[in-house]
Amino acid sequence: MLEGYAGRILRIDLTAGSSGTEAVTEEFAGKWVGGRGFGAKILYDEVRGVEPLSDANKVIIATGPLAGTLCPQSAKTSFHAKSPLTGGYGDSNMGGLFAPEMRYAGYDAIVLEGRADEPVIVVIDDDRVELRDGRAYRGRGAIETELALKKELGDEFQIATIGPGGENLVRYACINHDYGREAGRAGIGAVLGHKRVKAVCVRGTRDIPIADLPSMERIVRELLEHAGKHPALKEWQDYGTSQVIPLSSEWGSLPTRNFQTGTYEHADSIDHLHMRERVVKLDKACFACPMACGKYSYSEKYKVYCEGAEYETLALLGSNCGLSDVDDVLYANYLCDELGIDTISAGGVCAWAFEASEKGLLDVGGFGDAEALFDLLRKIANREGVGDVLADGVRAAAGKFGGSEFAIHIKGMEQSGYESRGAPAMLLSYMTCDVGAHHNRSWAVMRDLEKGRDVLDGKAEWVIGLQHKRPMFDMLGVCRLGWVELAIDLEYYARLFRAATGREWSLDDLLLASERVWNLTRCYWFREVPGFGRRWDMPPRRAMEEKIPSGTAKGYVQSEENVNRLLDDYYGLRGWDESGRPTKETLERLGLDFAAADLY
Ligand code: SF4
C-alpha cells in the first residue's frame, strides 16, 4: 500500500470500450508527486508527434496526494492533453468536489484514450467502469447536462461535462464541474469533444491511506487556527476574486477594450460591491475550503443562475469587451459556462473581433455592445459564420483577417486578466508560462508594484520562484489561495505531505520536484513544436510597440530590449540556453535524462 495515494491509474480505451488499472509505483510517485506531475509525465511519455484533435491525443485527469484528505482546500483536479489551442503542452485545473471523489473511487489518475463511435458518458463507480450511451445529451449545455446526470445517477456522483463548444471542437473549449467550476484553459474540452466524451462521472467509497493521521489532524488544526484569524478571510468569503477589479484598475492592469489600456472608467460598475449588491445569492466552496471564494449569482435581468463572475471573467468579458453592467457580464459568463467555452479566451477573442471591427477588418459590433457579444459567443460555440474562424482562437483569426498587431496572445493562448506593459514581472510570467499567456503559474504583478515598474533586476528570479511554488499546489491537489491570500506558510503543506505519504521530504524537495515538472513541460514544447524557441516566448506586439495611452500606467511599454533582457535573465537562471532550451546539464541535474535524449 502506497501511503497517501489511492494507488491506481485507471485507463479507459474509448475505441475498444474497455478499461484496466495499473499501480502507482513508489518510484513514479517519488519522482512526480501527483496531479500536475503525474499528468505531465504521462503526456510526455505517451502523446508524441500527434495532432491535438486526433484519436492519438489523450486526456489525463490527475490529482495529488493531499486531495480529499483533511487538508483544507484539497480539491484540485488537473486535466492534461496536447493543446488544440497552442499545439504544445496543455493543462488546466479546477476546484470543486471531483478530485476527492476520484480518489475515494481508488484512482490518482484517469487516462482517456482513443475515440468512441458515438457520444458517451463515462461512469466510474468504484471498480465498475461503464461507457453509457450519451447521444441523448448531444448538443446540450454543460451545466444542463450535469444537472440531468445528477438526476439520472444520483447526487453522490461528481461530474465533469463539456458543452456544445467542446463537441464542436472550439479550440478553447472548457470542462465544467459543480455547475460552473471550470478547467478553462488550453482547450482540453475540445479534446474530450473529439473523443466524444460528453461527461465523466465518478463516485467512490474507499478510504485514502494516511501514513500519520494524528499528525495530519494536528497540522490541520494549527493551519485552520492561523487561517481563521487572518483579516482577509472575511473579504474572501464575501467577495472572492471580484474584489481585485478596483485594485487592478487602480494599478493600470485591468484589460480594457482588448488590452488597449489598463484603467477602466467603469470599473466600479462591475466590481465586487456591485456583484454582491446586485447578483450574488450564495457563497460557494470547494471541498474542505473555509474561504468559499465561489459566488453563486442570479441575474434578474436575464433570469439565469451562474457561478461567478470571478475576477478573470469580469476582466475579460467585462472591461476588455467594454461592458459596464454586471448583469450583462454575468449573462456572458452564463453563456460561456453553458456553451462550454473558456471565459478568458472567449473574452480575448471577442475583444479582438470588436477592435478588428473598429478598424474595418470585420463587422461584428463593437465594444460595449452586449448583444453583439452574446451573439458572437453563440456563433463561436456553434462554429457558425465568423464564429467558425474565431473558434480557432485569436492567433488563427488574425492570420485570416489581419490584425495580428493587436492579437493579444502568447504561444497561441489568449492572455488572461492583467495588462502588463507597466508590470514587467507579470509580463515575463505570461511569456514563460508553460501553457501560454496564463496567470496562474506566477501572479507577479504585486512584485512590480512593490519593487518598481521600471525595475528589471530581480524580476526573473521572482517569477521562477513563483513558477515552482504555485504549480507545487497543482501537484499536491490543493488550492493555492490559502497560501497566496491568507499567508498560510508553505511549510504547512510540506508537513501535510509528510504526514500523508510518510515520505520524509522537505519543502525544498517538493519545490525541486516542481522545477523538474517545469523543465519537462518545456522539453515537451521543444519536442512537439517544430522551430520552438525564444520567439515563442515573445509577448504580443502591443506590449512592445504601443505605450499605454491612459490611466495610472500611462506611458508604459516594454521595449524589445527590455523583453530580451528579461528572457536572458530568466533563461540564465533556469539553466537554459539562449533559445530557451534546457541544457543537458540542467536536465541531468533534475533527473530528466530521458528528455535530454529526446532533445540532444
Ligand atoms: Fe475553491 Fe476558492 Fe476555496 Fe480555492 S479558495 S478551494 S478556488 S473555494
* Nearest-5° Cα angle at 479, 575 to 250: 80
Q: Are 62 and 200 in contact (CB under 8 A)?
A: no
Cis-peptide into 309, omega within 30 deg? yes
pLDDT at residue number 62? 98
Q: Dig out the grid coordinates for 317 from the structure.
A: 468579458
Ligand 1 atom nearest to CA at 284:
8
* Nearest-5° Cα angle at 595, 591 to 600: 120
CA distances for 481 relative to 301, 399, 425, 464, 526, angstroms: 32, 37, 20, 19, 31
For the stretch 469-478, pLDDT in tens is 999 999 999 9
For the stretch 570-594, pLDDT in tens is 999 999 999 999 999 999 999 999 9
Ligand 1 atom nearest to CA at 293:
2
For the stretch 252-270, pLDDT in tens is 999 999 999 999 999 999 9
pLDDT at residue number 223? 96
Quick one: which of 162, 167, 15, 190 has its CA closest to 90?
A: 190
Instruction: Please give the Cα distance from 473 to 487 (Å, whole number).
Output: 14
How large is the average pLDDT for residues 292-310?
96
Helices (H), 33-163: 36-46, 98-104, 142-153
- Distance from the CA of 291 to the center of ligand 1, in angstroms? 6
pLDDT at residue number 264? 97
Q: Dig out the grid coordinates for 104 from the structure.
A: 475515494
Q: Give yes or no for residue 327 having a pLDDT over 90.
A: yes
73 close to ligand 1 (CB < 6 Angstrom): yes
Beta-bridged to residue 283, according to DSSP, are 295
For the stretch 389-442, pLDDT in tens is 999 999 999 999 999 999 999 999 999 999 999 999 999 999 999 999 999 999
How large is the average pLDDT for residues 503-516?
98
Band (pLDDT 50/70/90 cuts) for residue 126 is very high
Q: Dig out the grid coordinates for 172 from the structure.
A: 478553447
The model scores a pTM over 0.95? yes
292 close to ligand 1 (CB < 6 Angstrom): yes
Spatial neighbors of 583 by CB under 8 A, at least 6 apart, are: 575, 576, 577
pLDDT at residue number 173? 98
Instruction: Please give the Cα distance from 356 to 294 (Å, whole number).
Output: 34
Ligand 1 atom nearest to CA at 482:
5
- Distance from the CA of 437 to the center of ligand 1, in angstroms? 22
* Nearest-5° Cα angle at 507, 501 to 510: 65
- Distance from the CA of 294 to the center of ligand 1, in angstroms? 7
Ligand 1 atom nearest to CA at 480:
4
Rama region for 526: left / alpha / beta (φ>0; ψ in -120 to 50; rest): alpha
Band (pLDDT 50/70/90 cuts) for residue 1 is confident
Burial zone of 222 (CB within 10 Å; 0-12 exposed, 13-18 middle, 19+ buried): middle
Pairing, β 294-299 against β 409-410: unpaired
Of all helices (H) and strands (E), which one includes residue 520? helix 507-528
93 close to ligand 1 (CB < 6 Angstrom): no
DSSP E strands, 120-244: 120-125, 128-133, 158-161, 175-177, 181-183, 197-203
Q: Give yes or no for residue 165 having a pLDDT over 90.
A: yes
Ligand 1 atom nearest to CA at 285:
8
Q: If you take atom 6 of ligand 1, which residue's CA is the nearest one?
A: 73
Cβ atoms within 10 Å, residue 23: 11
Q: Give yes or no for residue 361 having a pLDDT over 90.
A: yes
| % of residues, the chain, pLDDT over 70 | 100
Quick one: which of 95, 113, 100 has its CA closest to 46?
A: 113
For the stretch 171-194, pLDDT in tens is 999 999 999 999 999 999 999 999
Q: Dig out the grid coordinates for 140 from the structure.
A: 446540450
Select from 283, 307, 481 the residue to mutate for testing ligand 1; criterion: most ligand atoms less than 8 Å from CB.
Answer: 481
For the stretch 518-567, pLDDT in tens is 999 999 999 999 999 999 999 999 999 999 999 999 999 999 999 999 99
pLDDT at residue number 241? 96
CA distances for 84 relative to 50, 171, 393, angstroms: 11, 5, 10
| % of residues, the chain, pLDDT over 90 | 100
For the stretch 92-121, pLDDT in tens is 999 999 999 999 999 999 999 999 999 999
Q: Encode 290-306 in three state secondary structure.
A: CCCCEEEEEECCCCEEE
95 close to ligand 1 (CB < 6 Angstrom): yes
